[in-house]
Every structure is written in structure tokens, then in C-alpha cells.
Structure 1
């Protein structure tokens, strides 16, 4: 890694965005002797001592007083009689300032990256204009001995649900000038921008619109509808390549979609949908609407990535059906039948116990999960069978069942580990953010110290004969403050990228409950099949007992009551055989789905974790290298010898050389 000249010029330009913030901070210092109104102007155009860039316009409109063009704080109204002896020094500083304020030969957007950091994620893209391309090839960066390298264009990030290749480096963000010293966005915000996907459909949720509807007791209710736009990148079931659709959906439609997919795709690890709001008063808040819109968009994008979900008829109809989804006949036919409530379940249980209704489940019910509220007797039998199996041990499991149960236990352990890792990631991001804020505060404090030294120090140094030392101290504080602000800016960029990269932990944690639920579904289906087998064995035993008792009767006479009971048992056994076959087939299907989903989940987890570790490490390494550049530049400005700086660079290069064999 060639550190070479340290690229101060781009750092100078990055700091220009902070001018408004720093000027406002400077105005808080009021020595009481600089100007008539007691305030102190401050100009940041030459921070660092070697800048050749024009000061940008004053942010936020014209202030009460214009910033002074003099570094020592002496404006036309700030000169005192006792300071007239410093006129020669002031004139010299004014001449230097006029030279520094000459327009640059090229602007910030035309800068190119230093050769040793052309792949650094800490740099912003540097587009080259044709009229300056030839000039840039011959232009040397001011203050360096290296010629400008050929332009290098960083790949622009694509945050749409995505159809492009996965970038190997972290997407570079373009911070606005007002975000220079502000904390980075929350980690939840970055989750929607950092998902790398390979979906055949590009889905976006936008344009939330508030609507009113009639409520209960004459009160008006309301809801928010979202525009769901879909564009097909390739031929997929229900869509042709290049086709587009745009429909309006409300949150209840998303809930209905999740319920329908849950019934249709049993055993699959489906992504979780956004939860409902616990506080109804937040439903119409703009911040809540935007957060829900982002969550719904991520939910649809993840469904589009799922191979089974994207092919389902429910998902395709949700994206294409125009108008009100609840009034669509095709959608109504696909929706699962709502289960009966606890009242109907209690009435059904009473009829089954009294013998007025048969308790044998049919083959269709055998393939469905147990509804504890509407089929209480079935739930009681399966609970009893589970307790019996637990007491008898886990022997007699089908082939591969024990391995799948161990996989579920491993997922539960992974869920707990991801929960701790997610909390640790949040603390790490907060700590890094505080570190950047401390660097920013240190820079502002050094600027104020430099300002105080310029105003008060030079005035007192006139009597002590230490004018040169005071000027050196003021300049050193200003240079150190500039370096601290640069480091603060670098740290804030690194924090934003770290929040994006570590967001993978939150995504993986959110995927754990659906995965565990999918494995639990298989176990519940096996319990249903085992309960049906036990029920059928019990009825077969009853049939054999009745037949044995009838065989002992002299003359072969059969009691009509026992004959009717025997006929009912045989009908139940015949029905149970079909139900058991259906339940066993459903179990085998879910088991095969679980195995496929486990392979997919493990592959995605491995890929995401490796990508997260690589991106996070790359960002931190680049941040450390940029920090080293800034501090080495400061050391050179404060008088460090080239031999000492060269020794430090050689040490850093040697450490990189030792790390490269380990990485390979």
C-alpha cells in the first residue's frame, strides 16, 4: 500500500461542507474586543494552511454579519489603536489570504483518487469532465509530487430490489453537506438499502395515500394505501420479461397474503411480514407510514427472492389484480377458510363426547394443522399422544427425523447467538458514532482555541515579545482542529457503512423464527400421523375384542348393538386408513421441503456472513488508513521530519506485507 503524499486536498474539500457548522460554532466565542457588536467572525477557507479552494457560499442564507476575510480576526471594524504596530504582519497575512483565495484550476467533482486508494470505499466517485480531462492528466495535486493518476470510476450502488450483480465492496453513500457532523441514520434505515438480492421481479412500494372510511357507531376510520409497482426482469410464472404492473394495496391485503402463503406453503421458511402497530394513534403518523412502507417493500422483495413464493398463485394475483383485492373473486377463492371460534369448538366437542358427531378426521383435515380453538378433541388427543411419546422415549422415528430435529435445536442456538450479536452490533455502532462525535467536538474546541489565541494571544504577545510563538500556536491549533474534523468525517462515513454491513445480523435474526416454525410444522404433522395411527390401532383392537366375544356365543347369535358398534368401528378404520395415508404423505412432503430449505438457509447465511465480514473489515481498514493519512499529514505540518514520517510509512507497509500471506 503506497501512502505517498497524503491527499490533503480532497480532505480539504470534504471539510468545506462543514463550513456553516463551524462558523456557527465560532460565533459562540465572544471575546468582547474584536468587533463593535462583540462577535467574532471566522473564515474556514484555508483550514490546514495549504488549501487552494474557494470558500463555498454561506449556508442557510446571509448571516447577521458577513464572515471576515482575515484569519487573525482583524476586520475593518475590529482594529484597536494599540494594535497598529502589527500592521505589517496583517498586510502580509492579507496578501497570503488573497493568494489562497484564487480560483482553483479544477473543482471537487473533477478530482481523481490517489493511486493507493483507488478502490477505497471511503472515497466518493470522481466523474471526469471532457474539458478538463487533458488538463488533469498533466496537473499535479497542489502540495504533492505525484502526478494525477488516470481517473477511476467507482461502481455506483443500486439499492433497488435487485437485479444486478452483488458488489464486492460496500456501496458508497453520498452524504449531504448538512450531514457532515450529524449522527448516521438508524440501522433500520440501512436494512432497506443493503439487501443484495437476485430476484426475477423488481418490486417497489411507494406513494402512500391516506383514505377515510366509515367506522363503527358513526365514527370515521382511516387506512393507508400503497402503490405496489412490479417489473419483471426475466420470464417467470405469471410474468413475461419486461412486463410491468402497478396496483394499490392496503396493509390488510399484505396480512391476507401472508396468511394465504402460510397455508399454501407449509414447511417453507417464508420471510416475516411487518407487524401491526400496537398503538393505533401512530397509524397516520408520517414517520410510521414511511417505516411501514419500507418494511412492506422489503417483505415483497424477499418473497420475490423465494423460489416457491414467487411461483405461487396468491403472490402473482396480489401483484397483478387491479382494484380492491377483497372484492376479487379469484382472490376470495384462494383465501383460506377462516376457522371457527372457541364457541363453535366447544359446541362441537360436546357433540363428539355425546356421540352425536363422529370424531374421526377426514383426509383433508389430516393434511391441515390442528386448530386448537375449533377442534378441541383432536388437540387433546395429539397432546396426550405427545406426552406418551415423551415418556416412552423418542424411539421409532422415521428416517431422517432425528437429524431434522437436531437441525431445529441448532437453529434455536443460532437464534440466541444472533440475538446477542445483534445487540453487540448496535452497541458497536453507537460507540463508533460517539467516537466520531468526540473527534468533531475536539476539532471545534481546537478551532476556538486558535481563535482565542489569534485575538487575545497576539494582543498579549505584543507586550511579552512572543508574537511568533503565539502565531505558531494558533496555526498549530487550527491545523490540529482541521485534522480532527477530517477524522470525524471519516468516522461518520465508516459508521454509516458499518450500520449497513452489520444489518445482516438483524436480517438473519428475523429469518430464524420462520425457519424454526417451518421445522415445527413438520413435527406437528408427524404428531398428527402418529395420533391417527394410534387411533386406528385402538379401533382395530376393539374390533378384535368384539369379534372374539361374539365367537364365544353359542349358536353364533350376535347382539344387534354389538353388530352396529362393529360396523361403526370398521367404517372408522377405513376412514382412518385414508386419513393416515394423507397425513403420512403430507409429512414426507414437508420433510423434503425442510431439507431443501435448510440447505438454502445455510448457504445464504454463509454467503451473507462472509460478505458482511469482508465488507466490514474492508471499511475499517480503509478508515484506519485514512486516519493514518490525516495524522501523518498533521505531523508533517507541525514539523515532523521526512525521515520520521518515512519510517512510520515503512512500518505500516511492513505490517500490510505480513497480513497479505495470512489473508491469502
Structure 2
């Protein structure tokens, strides 16, 4: 697959607007054959439409649908961005089923036009508009229905057309997970290109990789421009996801899409599009995060031109980390007394394991094992958060089970769709055999053919529904994926508290030694000055560590409350969309089976064989 290496002349044009898409003059690649149609620029067009909306332009009816429409913050919790609230279920044919669906949808929150919250796209309620004649070969062209209402010879196409119309009306053929993002920071990942570069594993060799264009439209004041566009490869996203936890301690950061270790799959068109969509969703989740959206790391990632790793602005953001050799040398110098044991204020705000301070890590663990903190009671907020941590572990286990069952259910639905297609082929073959010899029964042949067509239609509808269900389950995957980051942030706060308590204990010991040294003769003045210096350094470090702990404590409390509220709304909306989707699927299948039942001949009480046998017996008598 050749995704192309050159940009178009329009992109080199200084007057070319990178947010203008949709026209023939703005091809993202050299030709339409470089990328499949699935790589479309709908999200990029959305940024253009948002820019026009910000400037007061009213979109016309002919403008494309905006999939990245801004979603307002929740009034009760303005720091956390949520999915849109679920809609009320549309009126269904079956009154009781519609009432049940509407009750479930309204339980997750009603549509609020005043708050500006977008609803899910309505899922159609398809019906088979005309009776279907199944007594035609599979694949026959559709024909019209007479005015009298009786089906024509190819009216089976009406059912197929109903399925197609239902799929087309359903948000362009697929149900996508509800959008996430920040109306002040909108990000689109698009225009993937294939490159050849030096291999990171074997020196002197080159490897293929994909880069993506990341376009940002923002109104946040700390950005240098309201619109910017850069190119990033997947390892740049990995660097971002590794850096943010080091800068935003105690934050529940979204999970980055996983790496793919199968080299052959990474170059396929389907995988490139899947990764593009995942990376765009990841960046917009970061944009919806209260701390990550205003972090310097995300701003540099979205604005720095050229290679991200060589950018001075990016390099200066990384905390200082000792190499293994430096860490070993530092430990040895500390043990022999050639280096002071008191950590600096810049060191205590970072976890000991992260900065590879082996001595500090061992010292804190030994203090804890010795029980040095048993007389230091925990604060009420800390005790509450530790209780919440145990609940979060249970929630993580419940999410894991729910996702596992949901994925198994979806795989079973896909398998059922495949079995319906296989059964349709088998019945069609049986119908052909039944009609191939003189003794075959025409009624049986017609019934087998009609059942084959019904199964094929239902198999296609089931396959479409299972594909949409997989997309609707995305919020469940997102919340399952974020749980390790949540646990890491909660345990990181506990580790920071251990640093604070260790420094307090060391400060008390040094102060006691200083008080004792001050009672000694004047010849011990140098020792007193050294102890006084250590006490002063420990006081500054302890204050810095305690301030960092308080920041993490506040972040844990706020983000835990926001995450739970967000999860409740998102999962409720997911269930409403899933129930609506399944309800419409069941109605589609029921309509097809009902048509099949009406077209089948009513079987008599006596089979043809028994009728012939009765005639023979009557003749003998």
C-alpha cells in the first residue's frame, strides 16, 4: 500500500487554508488512489465549520454535517467534559416496546436544548413498506409493487431496500460512539502519509512508518495561535502519554491507544484508519481533561513544528532522570557519606522510582517497615480517599467483567449473522436440488427459496447491527482502559504521602540531634552548623513535598467525583443507544420473518405420500 510521500500543490500554496476541505481542489494526497475513502476528512471539515461558527457565520443547509460540534460543559461540574446525554427513544411500532425504550432513555438524562448538549443521532425505526414475494431467485433486481398492493415477481428487493434505507438513515450507515472533546480546544487527526526512516532497532536500516496531520482550532489563551497544524507519528503520541503523568501527578489521564506488534498489519489501510480514529479520540479526551487541556506538554505537542523529539520546547519539559550508571554512582556516594542524604525540593515532588533515587526509595520503604508512622494519624480526606481506592478496584473489576461479556455478546451476534448467511446458502442449494428433478414439489422449492432469502436478509441486518453495536460499546472500552491510570494516580498520592511522612520523621530526628549538639562545647560548632544547614534543607523539602501532596489530594478528589459522574452519563447514554439499536434490529427481523410466514403455503394435514398411500389402499378394497 502506497500512502504517498508528497503533499499536493494546494498544501504548498501560501494562500491555501489547511482547514478547507471537501472541494476537488483540496486533495490531501497526490491522487485518490493513495488512501481509501475511509480516510475521509469529515472531522477536518468540522473544524472549518466550528471556525465559521465562532466568527458569526451561519452554516447553510448545504454544508456538511459537523461531527465535532461543540459540547457544552456540565453545569454542575464545569471541570469535566461529558458525553452528550442520551435522547428519548423514538416512537416505535410496538407501543409497549417503545414505552420501555423511552423509559430507559429518559433514565440517563433528558435532552436539554438550553444547555447546548448534543443528542445521539436518532436511530431509525424501519419497516418493510410492502409485502415481499420470496418466490424469486436470490439476487434478482427489485421491482415495483402494483397499485393493488399485490407483490410483483421481484418484490423481495423491497425488503432489501428497507434494510438499506435503515442503514443509510442510521448516521451514514454506522452508529459511532458519541463525540468527546472541549469546545475551546478541537483537534482533528487526518491525512496519514507513509514515510521511510531509520530503524530504531537495527542501525543503518530503514523502516516504514505512518505520520498523521494533527490540526487544532482553539480559543485557549496559552496557545500562540488559534489554528495550527503539525505532523506526528505514533511514537510521538507515546512520548506524550509518557510525559503527562510525570507533569500532572494525581490526574486521571485517558489511556493512549495500544501499540501494534504485528509489522504486516501496521501498513494495512484498515489499521491505519482505525489508528487514526483512535488517536483523534485520545487527543480529544485529553482536550476534555481539565488539567491536560491547559498543560504545556499538550500545547507543545500540538504546536511545535518539525520533529517533536528534537524540539527544544519539548525537551525542556521532561523531568531530569538519572541514567542507571548515574543512579548507581549516586547511591554509592550517598552510602559512603560523600553526598548529602537530604533530597532537594525539586526531587521530592517526583516519585523516587521515577527519578531513580535508589537511596531515597529504600529509605522511605525502611521507615514504613519500621513503623515510624504508626503514631502519625491520617487526615479525614486521606482516609476517605483510601476507602474510595478500594471501591475503585471493585469498579475496575466490574468494568472488566462487563466489557468481557459485552465483547463476547458482540462476537456471538457476529457468529449468528455468519450462520444465517451459511444457512441461507444451504437452503438455496437444497431448493435448487428440489427443483432439479421431475418428482420435486414446486411448493417445497418455493418455500425453501423464500426461507433462504429471508435468512440472507436477516443475516445482513444482523451483521450491520453487530458492527454498530461494537461502535456503541466504545464508552465502556474507554472507561475500562482508564482504570489503570486512575489506580496509578491514587497510589501515586499515597506514595507522595509516604515521602512527606519520611521527611517529617527525618526533620524531627535532625532537630533532636541539633538540640543535643547545641549543648556541647564550642568545639562542636562546625557540627552544629552542619546540622542547622541540614534542618533548613529538610524544612524546605518537606514544605515542597507537602504542597505537592495537597495538590494531588485535591486532584484525586475532584477527578474521582468527575469521573464517576461522567461514567454514569456515558454508560447510560451507551445503553440507551444500544437498546434503541437492538430494538430496531429486532423489528427489522420480525418484519422479514412475518413476510416470510405470510408467503409460505399452509401445509395440509396429509402429506403427498400419505395421500398416494390412501388411494392405493382404497383401490385394493
Same fold per superposition (TM over 0.5): yes
Q: What is the Cα deviation at residue 239 of structure 1?
A: 5.2
Match of 2:140 among 45, 48, 59: 45
- In the alignment, the residues of structure 2 paired with residue 282 and residue 43 of structure 1 have an alpha-carbon distance, to the nearest angstrom, of 35
Please tell me whether residue 236 in structure 1 is matched to residue 228 in structure 2.
no
Please tell me whether residue 156 in structure 1 is matched to residue 171 in structure 2.
yes
What are the within-5 Å matches in structure 2 for residues 286-435 of structure 1?
289-337=272-320, 339-371=321-353, 374-389=356-371, 396-435=377-416
What are the within-5 Å matches in structure 2 for residues 581-600 of structure 1?
581-600=543-562
What are the within-5 Å matches in structure 2 for residues 426-505 of structure 1?
426-456=407-437, 459-460=438-439, 470-505=441-476
Please tell me whether residue 571 in structure 1 is matched to residue 550 in structure 2.
no
User: 1:226: which partner in 2?
Assistant: 211
Q: What is the Cα deviation at residue 526 of structure 1?
A: 0.8
Q: What is the Cα deviation at residue 396 of structure 1?
A: 0.4
Please tell me whether residue 535 in structure 1 is matched to residue 506 in structure 2.
yes
Q: Cα deviations across residues 212-259 of structure 1 (Å, max 9, x unaligned)?
A: 237788622335252323242x62234599x53221123332233223
* Maintained 8 Å contact 1:346/1:374: no
Give the direction of change, closer, same or farther, for the CA distance of 1:277–1:448 in structure 2 (3 Å limit): closer
- When normalised by structure 2's length, the TM-score is 0.68
Q: Cα deviations across residues 249-292 of structure 1 (Å, max 9, x unaligned)?
A: 23332233223322221111111223445566776666665554
- In the alignment, the residues of structure 2 paired with residue 349 and residue 598 of structure 1 have an alpha-carbon distance, to the nearest angstrom, of 37
Match of 2:596 among 619, 622, 634: 634
* Maintained 8 Å contact 2:130/2:145: no
* Maintained 8 Å contact 1:267/1:521: yes
Q: Which entry has the higher C-alpha Rg, 1 or 2?
A: 1
List runs of 5+ in structure 1 lacking aligned partners.
20-41, 55-95, 114-119, 126-153, 158-171, 174-189, 462-469, 551-556, 642-664
* Maintained 8 Å contact 2:490/2:556: yes
- In the alignment, the residues of structure 2 paired with residue 572 and residue 10 of structure 1 have an alpha-carbon distance, to the nearest angstrom, of 89
Q: What is the Cα deviation at residue 101 of structure 1?
A: 6.6
Q: Cα deviations across residues 431-467 of structure 1 (Å, max 9, x unaligned)?
A: 11122222222222222222222221xx126xxxxxx
Q: What is the Cα deviation at residue 294 of structure 1?
A: 3.9
Please tell me whether residue 255 in structure 1 is matched to residue 238 in structure 2.
yes
What are the within-5 Å matches in structure 2 for residues 39-118 of structure 1?
44-45=139-140, 52=144, 100=153
Q: Cα deviations across residues 183-234 of structure 1 (Å, max 9, x unaligned)?
A: xxxxxxx9xx4252132313214313222237788622335252323242x6
Give the direction of change, closer, same or farther, for the CA distance of 1:11–1:248 in structure 2 (3 Å limit): farther
Which structure: greater helix fraction?
A: 1
Give the direction of change, closer, same or farther, for the CA distance of 1:357–1:563 in structure 2 (3 Å limit): same
Q: What is the Cα deviation at residue 108 of structure 1?
A: 9.8
Q: 3-state DSSP class of the match of 2:221?
A: coil
- In the alignment, the residues of structure 2 paired with residue 622 and residue 108 of structure 1 have an alpha-carbon distance, to the nearest angstrom, of 14
Please tell me whether residue 526 in structure 1 is matched to residue 513 in structure 2.
no
Give the direction of change, closer, same or farther, for the CA distance of 1:371–1:289 in structure 2 (3 Å limit): same
Give the direction of change, closer, same or farther, for the CA distance of 1:433–1:12 in structure 2 (3 Å limit): farther
- In the alignment, the residues of structure 1 paired with residue 464 and residue 538 of structure 2 have an alpha-carbon distance, to the nearest angstrom, of 65
Give the direction of change, closer, same or farther, for the CA distance of 1:9–1:485 in structure 2 (3 Å limit): farther
- In the alignment, the residues of structure 1 paired with residue 569 and residue 469 of structure 2 have an alpha-carbon distance, to the nearest angstrom, of 18
Q: 3-state DSSP class of the match of 2:343?
A: coil
Q: Which has the higher contact order (CA 8 A, sep 6+)?
A: 2
Q: 3-state DSSP class of the match of 1:202?
A: strand
Q: 3-state DSSP class of the match of 1:460?
A: coil
User: 2:166: which partner in 1?
Assistant: 123
User: 1:206: which partner in 2?
Assistant: 191
List runs of 5+ in structure 2 lacking aligned partners.
1-91, 96-125, 604-621
- In the alignment, the residues of structure 2 paired with residue 443 and residue 507 of structure 1 have an alpha-carbon distance, to the nearest angstrom, of 37
Q: What is the Cα deviation at residue 631 of structure 1?
A: 2.0
